[in-house]
Structure 1
Amino acid sequence: MAHFLIKLVVNALALWLTARIYGGLSFQPGSGAGGVLVAALVLGIVNALIRPLLLLLSLPVNLLTLGLFTLVVNGVVLSIVAAVTSLNVAGFGAAIVGALILTVVSWLLDAVLNALGVDRQ
Protein backbone atom coordinates (compact mmCIF):
# COMPACT_ATOMS: atom_id res chain seq x y z
CA MET A 1 0.00 0.00 0.00
CA ALA A 2 2.85 2.39 0.77
CA HIS A 3 4.35 1.80 -2.68
CA PHE A 4 1.02 2.64 -4.31
CA LEU A 5 0.74 5.87 -2.34
CA ILE A 6 4.32 6.87 -3.16
CA LYS A 7 3.68 6.19 -6.84
CA LEU A 8 0.42 8.15 -6.74
CA VAL A 9 2.06 11.17 -5.10
CA VAL A 10 5.02 11.08 -7.50
CA ASN A 11 2.67 10.87 -10.50
CA ALA A 12 0.61 13.75 -9.10
CA LEU A 13 3.77 15.79 -8.63
CA ALA A 14 4.85 14.99 -12.19
CA LEU A 15 1.45 16.07 -13.54
CA TRP A 16 1.51 19.27 -11.51
CA LEU A 17 5.08 20.10 -12.59
CA THR A 18 4.22 19.41 -16.22
CA ALA A 19 1.25 21.76 -16.00
CA ARG A 20 3.53 24.42 -14.49
CA ILE A 21 6.25 23.93 -17.12
CA TYR A 22 4.06 23.65 -20.22
CA GLY A 23 1.27 26.08 -20.97
CA GLY A 24 -0.70 23.54 -23.03
CA LEU A 25 -1.69 21.71 -19.84
CA SER A 26 -3.36 23.27 -16.84
CA PHE A 27 -5.65 22.44 -14.00
CA GLN A 28 -8.99 24.15 -13.52
CA PRO A 29 -8.79 27.05 -11.08
CA GLY A 30 -9.57 25.94 -7.56
CA SER A 31 -8.99 22.23 -8.23
CA GLY A 32 -6.18 22.11 -5.65
CA ALA A 33 -4.18 19.11 -4.57
CA GLY A 34 -7.23 16.86 -4.59
CA GLY A 35 -7.84 17.50 -8.26
CA VAL A 36 -4.21 16.76 -9.07
CA LEU A 37 -4.32 13.52 -7.05
CA VAL A 38 -7.52 12.42 -8.80
CA ALA A 39 -5.95 13.16 -12.20
CA ALA A 40 -2.88 11.12 -11.22
CA LEU A 41 -5.09 8.23 -10.10
CA VAL A 42 -7.09 8.32 -13.34
CA LEU A 43 -3.83 8.52 -15.33
CA GLY A 44 -2.60 5.39 -13.58
CA ILE A 45 -5.84 3.54 -14.28
CA VAL A 46 -5.91 4.59 -17.95
CA ASN A 47 -2.23 3.65 -18.33
CA ALA A 48 -2.92 0.23 -16.84
CA LEU A 49 -6.16 -0.61 -18.66
CA ILE A 50 -6.61 1.40 -21.85
CA ARG A 51 -3.07 2.21 -23.01
CA PRO A 52 -2.06 -1.46 -23.59
CA LEU A 53 -5.17 -1.97 -25.73
CA LEU A 54 -4.41 1.17 -27.75
CA LEU A 55 -0.82 0.04 -28.24
CA LEU A 56 -1.99 -3.38 -29.40
CA LEU A 57 -4.51 -1.92 -31.85
CA SER A 58 -1.94 0.52 -33.23
CA LEU A 59 0.84 -2.05 -33.49
CA PRO A 60 1.04 -2.08 -37.32
CA VAL A 61 1.30 1.73 -37.47
CA ASN A 62 3.71 1.71 -34.56
CA LEU A 63 5.96 -0.74 -36.38
CA LEU A 64 5.86 1.35 -39.56
CA THR A 65 6.82 4.50 -37.65
CA LEU A 66 9.49 2.67 -35.63
CA GLY A 67 7.67 3.37 -32.37
CA LEU A 68 7.01 7.07 -32.89
CA PHE A 69 3.26 6.46 -32.99
CA THR A 70 3.52 5.73 -29.27
CA LEU A 71 3.68 9.51 -28.80
CA VAL A 72 0.23 9.75 -30.35
CA VAL A 73 -1.07 6.97 -28.09
CA ASN A 74 0.33 8.81 -25.06
CA GLY A 75 -1.41 11.97 -26.26
CA VAL A 76 -4.69 10.05 -26.50
CA VAL A 77 -4.19 8.77 -22.96
CA LEU A 78 -3.59 12.29 -21.66
CA SER A 79 -6.67 13.52 -23.55
CA ILE A 80 -8.78 10.80 -21.93
CA VAL A 81 -7.53 11.84 -18.50
CA ALA A 82 -8.32 15.47 -19.30
CA ALA A 83 -11.84 14.53 -20.38
CA VAL A 84 -12.75 13.05 -17.00
CA THR A 85 -10.71 15.14 -14.53
CA SER A 86 -9.90 18.76 -13.77
CA LEU A 87 -6.93 18.63 -16.15
CA ASN A 88 -7.26 20.90 -19.19
CA VAL A 89 -5.45 20.26 -22.47
CA ALA A 90 -5.28 22.98 -25.13
CA GLY A 91 -5.66 20.50 -28.01
CA PHE A 92 -4.44 17.20 -29.34
CA GLY A 93 -1.03 18.59 -30.28
CA ALA A 94 -0.73 19.99 -26.76
CA ALA A 95 -1.64 16.55 -25.40
CA ILE A 96 1.18 14.92 -27.37
CA VAL A 97 3.74 17.53 -26.26
CA GLY A 98 2.39 17.38 -22.69
CA ALA A 99 2.69 13.59 -22.64
CA LEU A 100 6.28 13.86 -23.82
CA ILE A 101 7.13 16.42 -21.14
CA LEU A 102 5.28 14.34 -18.52
CA THR A 103 7.41 11.34 -19.47
CA VAL A 104 10.63 13.31 -19.00
CA VAL A 105 9.47 14.82 -15.69
CA SER A 106 8.40 11.39 -14.39
CA TRP A 107 11.74 9.93 -15.43
CA LEU A 108 13.61 12.67 -13.59
CA LEU A 109 11.51 12.20 -10.44
CA ASP A 110 12.14 8.44 -10.60
CA ALA A 111 15.87 9.10 -10.88
CA VAL A 112 15.76 11.38 -7.83
CA LEU A 113 13.82 8.80 -5.81
CA ASN A 114 16.21 6.04 -6.83
CA ALA A 115 19.19 8.23 -5.85
CA LEU A 116 17.55 8.80 -2.47
CA GLY A 117 16.99 5.08 -2.04
CA VAL A 118 13.20 5.21 -2.12
CA ASP A 119 11.85 1.98 -3.59
CA ARG A 120 8.77 2.60 -5.79
CA GLN A 121 8.07 -0.98 -6.79
Structure 2
Amino acid sequence: MKLLFKWLLSAAALLCVAYLYSGVQVSSFGAAMVAAFVIGLLNVVLRPILVILTLPATILTLGLFLFVINALMFWAASGLLSGFHVAGFGAALLGSLLYSLIGLVIESALGGLFAKK
Protein backbone atom coordinates (compact mmCIF):
# COMPACT_ATOMS: atom_id res chain seq x y z
CA MET A 1 0.00 0.00 0.00
CA LYS A 2 2.78 2.42 0.96
CA LEU A 3 4.72 1.65 -2.23
CA LEU A 4 1.70 2.32 -4.44
CA PHE A 5 0.95 5.56 -2.59
CA LYS A 6 4.57 6.66 -2.89
CA TRP A 7 4.55 5.87 -6.62
CA LEU A 8 1.42 8.01 -7.16
CA LEU A 9 2.91 10.86 -5.14
CA SER A 10 6.19 10.59 -7.04
CA ALA A 11 4.29 10.92 -10.30
CA ALA A 12 2.52 13.97 -8.88
CA ALA A 13 5.91 15.34 -7.82
CA LEU A 14 7.16 14.89 -11.37
CA LEU A 15 4.17 16.86 -12.65
CA CYS A 16 4.96 19.51 -10.05
CA VAL A 17 8.55 19.74 -11.31
CA ALA A 18 7.26 20.11 -14.87
CA TYR A 19 4.91 22.87 -13.70
CA LEU A 20 7.61 24.74 -11.78
CA TYR A 21 10.42 24.39 -14.33
CA SER A 22 10.03 24.68 -18.09
CA GLY A 23 13.10 22.53 -18.83
CA VAL A 24 11.14 19.42 -17.81
CA GLN A 25 8.02 18.47 -19.75
CA VAL A 26 5.52 15.73 -18.92
CA SER A 27 2.65 15.08 -21.31
CA SER A 28 0.14 13.47 -18.93
CA PHE A 29 -0.30 11.87 -15.52
CA GLY A 30 0.11 8.43 -17.09
CA ALA A 31 3.41 9.50 -18.60
CA ALA A 32 4.41 10.86 -15.18
CA MET A 33 3.57 7.50 -13.59
CA VAL A 34 5.70 5.63 -16.13
CA ALA A 35 8.52 8.18 -15.75
CA ALA A 36 8.41 7.92 -11.94
CA PHE A 37 8.61 4.13 -12.26
CA VAL A 38 11.55 4.28 -14.68
CA ILE A 39 13.40 6.85 -12.55
CA GLY A 40 12.88 4.63 -9.51
CA LEU A 41 14.04 1.57 -11.43
CA LEU A 42 17.16 3.34 -12.67
CA ASN A 43 17.89 4.57 -9.16
CA VAL A 44 17.62 1.04 -7.78
CA VAL A 45 19.54 -0.79 -10.51
CA LEU A 46 22.00 1.59 -12.16
CA ARG A 47 22.69 4.28 -9.54
CA PRO A 48 24.55 2.03 -7.04
CA ILE A 49 26.87 0.84 -9.81
CA LEU A 50 27.59 4.42 -10.88
CA VAL A 51 28.18 5.50 -7.28
CA ILE A 52 30.79 2.78 -6.83
CA LEU A 53 32.47 3.44 -10.18
CA THR A 54 32.68 7.18 -9.54
CA LEU A 55 33.70 6.95 -5.89
CA PRO A 56 37.03 8.78 -6.42
CA ALA A 57 35.27 11.71 -8.10
CA THR A 58 32.66 11.73 -5.34
CA ILE A 59 35.34 11.84 -2.67
CA LEU A 60 37.28 14.59 -4.46
CA THR A 61 34.18 16.74 -4.79
CA LEU A 62 33.08 16.02 -1.21
CA GLY A 63 29.92 14.28 -2.39
CA LEU A 64 28.79 16.91 -4.89
CA PHE A 65 29.29 14.48 -7.77
CA LEU A 66 26.22 12.61 -6.50
CA PHE A 67 24.14 15.48 -7.90
CA VAL A 68 25.61 14.67 -11.32
CA ILE A 69 24.66 11.01 -10.93
CA ASN A 70 21.10 11.97 -9.96
CA ALA A 71 20.89 14.24 -13.00
CA LEU A 72 22.15 11.43 -15.24
CA MET A 73 19.42 9.09 -13.94
CA PHE A 74 16.80 11.79 -14.53
CA TRP A 75 18.14 12.50 -18.02
CA ALA A 76 18.41 8.80 -18.89
CA ALA A 77 14.74 8.29 -17.99
CA SER A 78 13.79 11.10 -20.36
CA GLY A 79 15.82 9.46 -23.10
CA LEU A 80 13.97 6.18 -22.65
CA LEU A 81 10.44 7.60 -22.59
CA SER A 82 8.40 9.57 -25.09
CA GLY A 83 5.99 11.43 -22.78
CA PHE A 84 8.77 12.74 -20.54
CA HIS A 85 11.29 15.24 -21.91
CA VAL A 86 14.24 17.03 -20.30
CA ALA A 87 15.83 19.85 -22.32
CA GLY A 88 19.47 19.07 -21.48
CA PHE A 89 21.91 18.23 -18.74
CA GLY A 90 21.43 21.55 -16.94
CA ALA A 91 17.69 21.02 -16.99
CA ALA A 92 18.23 17.47 -15.72
CA LEU A 93 20.39 18.78 -12.88
CA LEU A 94 17.83 21.35 -11.76
CA GLY A 95 14.89 19.01 -12.40
CA SER A 96 16.45 16.18 -10.40
CA LEU A 97 17.22 18.58 -7.57
CA LEU A 98 13.59 19.74 -7.45
CA TYR A 99 12.36 16.15 -7.76
CA SER A 100 14.62 15.08 -4.89
CA LEU A 101 13.45 17.92 -2.66
CA ILE A 102 9.80 17.11 -3.32
CA GLY A 103 10.65 13.43 -2.73
CA LEU A 104 12.08 14.31 0.69
CA VAL A 105 8.82 16.02 1.59
CA ILE A 106 6.89 12.94 0.40
CA GLU A 107 9.10 10.60 2.44
CA SER A 108 8.68 12.66 5.58
CA ALA A 109 4.90 12.80 5.09
CA LEU A 110 4.66 9.07 4.44
CA GLY A 111 6.87 8.33 7.43
CA GLY A 112 4.29 9.92 9.69
CA LEU A 113 1.30 8.53 7.80
CA PHE A 114 2.37 4.90 7.75
CA ALA A 115 4.18 4.81 11.10
CA LYS A 116 3.79 1.55 12.99
CA LYS A 117 2.30 1.96 16.44
TM-score (norm 2): 0.90
**Post-superposition offset of 1:32:** 1.9
Counterpart Cα distance in 2 of 1:55 and 1:14: 24
Match of 1:107 in 2: 104
Provide the identity percentage. Answer: 35
**Post-superposition offset of 1:109:** 2.3
Q: Which residue identity does 1:106 align to in structure 2? A: G
TM-score (norm 1): 0.87
Match of 2:50 in 1: 54
Structure 1 stretches of 5 or more lacking a match? Answer: none
Q: Aligned runs of 1:64-75 on 2, under 5 Å?
A: 64-75=60-71
Match of 2:114 in 1: 118
RMSD between superposed Cα atoms in Å: 1.3
**Post-superposition offset of 1:111:** 2.5
Other structure's SS at 1:26 match? strand
Matching of residue 92 in structure 1 with residue 86 in structure 2: no
Choose from 13, 35, 52 the match for 2:31.
35
Match of 1:19 in 2: 18
